[in-house]
Amino acid sequence: MKYEVFTNSKLKFKTMSKKSIYVLAVIALTFTACKNEKKTEDHHEGESTEMHDISDGHHDNEGEHAEENRNNEASNDKNSATSAMVDGYLEIKNGLVSDDKIVAAKGGKSLLNAFASFNMESLSKEQHSEYMEIVENATEQAEHIVKSPIDHQREHFEILSNDMNDLIALLGTEKTLYQDFCPMANNGKGAIWLSETEEIKNPFYGSKMMKCGKMQKQIN
């Protein structure tokens, strides 16, 4: 009798092991293309590997905020007054796509100049209040991008992209843009960015995961 109990337990253990192996195999097959594309990241010489604190009390860039910004409807206004801001933002984006922190920093300076030069007289009282709130935070992100190593530039770019999305939703743009989404950014919570091209070129990972992401909508 004892021998039979031992045998049945052993068989049950083998059955459970096979089931576990099967489950693990299924999970392995469900990894996304972004996961398969991800490579081991090499640390750039002289760059900090510690987490950079970018909390500022205005935008926390949590998953809920990213979801909210993804669904923002852009203004239908063909507003040329925002073009310099968009150009500065895109210069940052393209620098990060190319893994070039110098180009990204130049874009940060261009964006700061565009904010400083923007004529707010045409804004309504409601627009002015919201504009000031958005630009206050966006300015802080751009200032960090100007002086930070590229890993920190990318962290601040996540928040800046939300700000620019809000700004375009508020004021509009004459440019044709595409709102893209990377599911791997923001510690796996996902983050948006804006691009002037339909082709996915990921600024959050650059050459490490260039094609990771999808286009969510066209603006204009």
- Alpha-carbon radius of gyration of the chain: 23
* Cα 190 → chain centroid: 6
Mean pLDDT, residues 173-200 taken together: 97
Predicted TM-score (pTM) of the model is 0.72
40-90-94 Cα angle (round to 5): 35
**Residues 95, 102 contacting (CB under 8 angstroms):** yes
Q: What b/e string do you get for 59-81 counting C-beta neighbours within 10 Å, with b at 16 or more? A: bebeeebbeebbebebbeeebeb
**Per-residue pLDDT, 220:** 87
Residues 163 and 89: their CA atoms lie apart, in Å, by: 10
Q: Give residues with Cβ within 8 angstroms of 70, minimum separation 6.
A: 179, 181, 192, 216
Mean pLDDT, residues 66-95 taken together: 76
**Residues 96, 108 contacting (CB under 8 angstroms):** no
pLDDT in tens, 10-63: 444 344 444 444 434 433 433 444 655 554 444 434 444 343 544 444 444 444
Beta bridge partners of 195: 178
**Per-residue pLDDT, 98:** 98
Domain segments of the chain: what residues?
A: 58-175
Please state, for a pLDDT cut of 90, what percent of the chain lies above it. 63
The DSSP output letter for 68 is: H
